Amino acid sequence: MKTILAAATAWGLAIFAGIALARLPQLRLPPGSRSVAALLLGGARSVLSDDMYQRADLYYHGGVAHRHEPGGEHRQTETPTEAAGARGRRFSPLSEADTASAPHKTMGKAAAAQPRGYSIIREGRRTEAGDHEHGHEGEETAVPRWDLWSRLNRRIHPSGHRHLRGPRYEKEVLPWLWAAIRCNPHNVTAYDVAAYWVAERLKHPEEGLKILAEGIRNNPDAYRLEFTRGEILLHMLKDREAAFNAFHAAMRKWETTYARAPEKKKPDVFQYGNILLYLAVLSERKNALEDARRYYKAALDTREGNARKDIARRLAAVEEKLGAEAESASAPKPEKTGG
Amino acid sequence: MRGPLRNIAAIASTAVLELYRRRDVYTAVVLAIVVTVPLASVNVFGVKGIVRYLREITLLLVWLFTLVIGLTTAARQIPRELENRTIYALLAKPLRRSEFILGKFAGAVAATGLAVLLFYLCYVVLDGLKEGVWYTPVLPQVVLLHLALVALMTALVIFGSTFLTPSANVTCSALIVAGMLLFGQKIPEAAARAVAPASWILWTAHAVLPHFEFFDLRLRLVHGWEPISPAVLLAVLGYCTLYTTALLGGAVAIFSRKRL
Amino acid sequence: MPEPTVAIEIDRLSKVYPGGNRALSDFSLAVDAGEIFGFLGPNGAGKTTTIKILLGFMPPTSGTVRVLGGDPRLPETRRRIGYLPEVANYYGYMTVDELLRYYGRLCGMSRDAIRKRTDELLELVGLADVRRRQLKHFSKGMLQRAGIAQALLHDPDLLILDEPMTGLDPPARLQMRDIILRQKQQGKTVFFSSHELSEAELICDRVGILKAGCTVWCGPTNEVTGDGAGNLERIFLNMIRQNESEQQK
Ligand SMILES: Nc1ncnc2c1ncn2[C@@H]1O[C@H](COP(=O)(O)OP(=O)(O)OP(=O)(O)O)[C@@H](O)[C@H]1O
Ligand SMILES: [Mg+2]
For residue C109, give the H/E element and its range. none
Under 8 Å between Cβ of A174 and A197: yes
Contact residues of ligand 1, CB 6 A cut-off: C 17, 19, 21, 23, 41, 43-49
C81, β-bridge pairs = C158
Q: Give the C-alpha separation, B94 to B4, whole Å.
A: 10
Q: Give the C-alpha separation, B115 to B109, whole Å.
A: 10
Mutate to test the interface with C, among B93, B256, B257 (most CBs of C within 10 A): B93
Q: What is the pLDDT of residue A110?
A: 31
Q: Are residues C179 and C61 in the same domain?
A: yes
Nearest CA to B120 out of B52, B177, B63 is that of B63
Under 8 Å between Cβ of C39 and C210: yes
Q: Are residues C91 and C69 in the same domain?
A: no
Under 8 Å between Cβ of A328 and A334: yes
B180 at A interface, C-beta within 8 A: no
Identify the band that residue A43 occupies on the pLDDT scale cut at 50, 70 and 90: low
Tens digit of pLDDT for each residue in A112-155? Answer: 333 333 344 433 333 334 455 655 555 456 778 888 999 999 89
Under 8 Å between Cβ of B68 and A3: yes
In sequence order, which residues have a C-beta less than 8 Å from that of residue B224 and are 6 or more positions away?
A62, A133, B52, B136
The Cα diameter of chain B in Å comes to 67
Tens digit of pLDDT for each residue in A61-94? Answer: 887 876 543 333 333 323 322 322 333 445 666 6
Angle at C58 between CA C57 and CA C63, to 5 degrees: 125
Under 8 Å between Cβ of C198 and C225: no
Shortest Cα distance, chain B CAs vs residue C82, angstroms: 7
Q: Which of C134, C155, C176 is the last residue of a domain?
A: C155
Q: What is the pLDDT of residue A111?
A: 32
A162, β-bridge pairs = A135
Identify the band that residue C83 occupies on the pLDDT scale cut at 50, 70 and 90: very high
Under 8 Å between Cβ of C46 and C210: yes
Q: Give the C-alpha separation, A209 to A216, whole Å.
A: 10
Q: Which of C106, C135, C155 is the last residue of a domain?
A: C155
Q: What is the ipTM of this complex?
A: 0.89
Which is more confidently placed, A115 or C130? C130
Give the mean pLDDT of C132-139: 94
Q: Are residues C91 and C62 in the same domain?
A: no
Domain, as residue range, for C112: 87-155
pLDDT score of C17 more than 90: yes
Sign of torsion, CA A95 A99 A103 A105? Answer: negative
Domain, as residue range, for B55: 2-256
> Which of ligand 1's atoms lies nearest the C-alpha of C19?
4
Provide the mean pLDDT of chain C.
88
Ligand 1 centroid distance, CA of C144 (Å): 21
Helices (H), chain B: 3-22, 24-40, 52-83, 86-91, 97-131, 138-161, 166-183, 187-193, 196-208, 218-222, 230-256
Q: Give the C-alpha separation, B210 to B234, whole Å.
A: 17
- Long-range CB pairs of A96-105, under 8 A, 24+ apart, other chains included: A96/A234, A96/A235, A96/A278, A96/A281, A97/A281, A97/A284, A97/A285, A100/A235, A101/A125, A101/A235
**Residue at A70: amino acid letter:** P
In sequence order, which residues have a C-beta less than 8 Å from that of residue A177 and are 6 or more positions away?
A52, A53, A56, A190, A193, A194, A197
Under 8 Å between Cβ of B155 and B247: yes
Q: Are residues C76 and C179 in the same domain?
A: yes
CA C57 and chain centroid, separation: 15
3-state secondary structure of B175: helix
Q: Are residues C48 and C114 in the same domain?
A: no
Q: What is the pLDDT of residue C226?
A: 54
Q: What is the pLDDT of residue C230?
A: 53
Q: What is the pLDDT of residue B109?
A: 97
Q: Are residues C137 and C245 in the same domain?
A: no
| Angstrom distances, CA of residue A138 to CA of A152, A234, B117, B182 | 11, 41, 30, 20
Q: Are residues C106 and C173 in the same domain?
A: no
3-state secondary structure of C84: strand
Q: Are residues C127 and C142 in the same domain?
A: yes
- Residue with the smallest CA separation from ligand 1 atom 28 is C44
Number of structural domains found in chain C: 2
- Residue with the smallest CA separation from ligand 1 atom 11 is C23
Tens digit of pLDDT for each residue in A192-230? Answer: 989 988 888 888 889 999 999 999 999 988 888 999 999
Q: What is the pLDDT of residue C221?
A: 80
Q: Give the C-alpha separation, A297 to C1, whole Å.
A: 115
Subunit contact C55:B92, Cβ cutoff 8 A = yes
Subunit contact B235:A152, Cβ cutoff 8 A = yes
Please report the number of interchain residue pairs, chain B to chain C, with beta-carbon separation below 8 angstroms.
Answer: 83
Tens digit of pLDDT for each residue in C24-62? Answer: 988 899 999 999 999 998 898 999 999 999 999 999 999
DSSP string, A170-209: HGGGHHHHHHHHHH-TT-HHHHHHHHHIIIIIS--HHHHH
Q: Are residues C50 and C5 in the same domain?
A: yes
3-state secondary structure of B214: helix
pLDDT score of C104 more than 50: yes
For residue C79, give the H/E element and its range. none
Q: What is the pLDDT of residue C168?
A: 87
Q: What is the pLDDT of residue B62?
A: 93
Half-sphere exposure of A135 (CA within 13 A, CB side): 26
Q: What is the pLDDT of residue A39?
A: 56
Tens digit of pLDDT for each residue in B209-239? Answer: 999 999 999 999 998 888 999 999 999 999 9
Shortest Cα distance, chain A CAs vs residue B1, angstroms: 33
Q: Which of C133, C155, C177 is the last residue of a domain?
A: C155
Shortest Cα distance, chain A CAs vs residue B98, angstroms: 28
Residues (pLDDT < 70) of chain B are 1-2
In sequence order, which residues have a C-beta less than 8 Å from that of residue A6 and are 6 or more positions away?
none
Subunit contact B94:C105, Cβ cutoff 8 A = no
Tens digit of pLDDT for each residue in A271-293? Answer: 888 888 899 888 888 888 888 88
Strands (E), chain C: 6-17, 21-32, 36-40, 62-67, 81-84, 158-162, 189-194, 206-211, 214-220
Number of structural domains found in chain B: 1
Nearest CA to B36 out of A19, C24, C120 is that of A19
- Residue with the smallest CA separation from ligand 1 atom 10 is C23
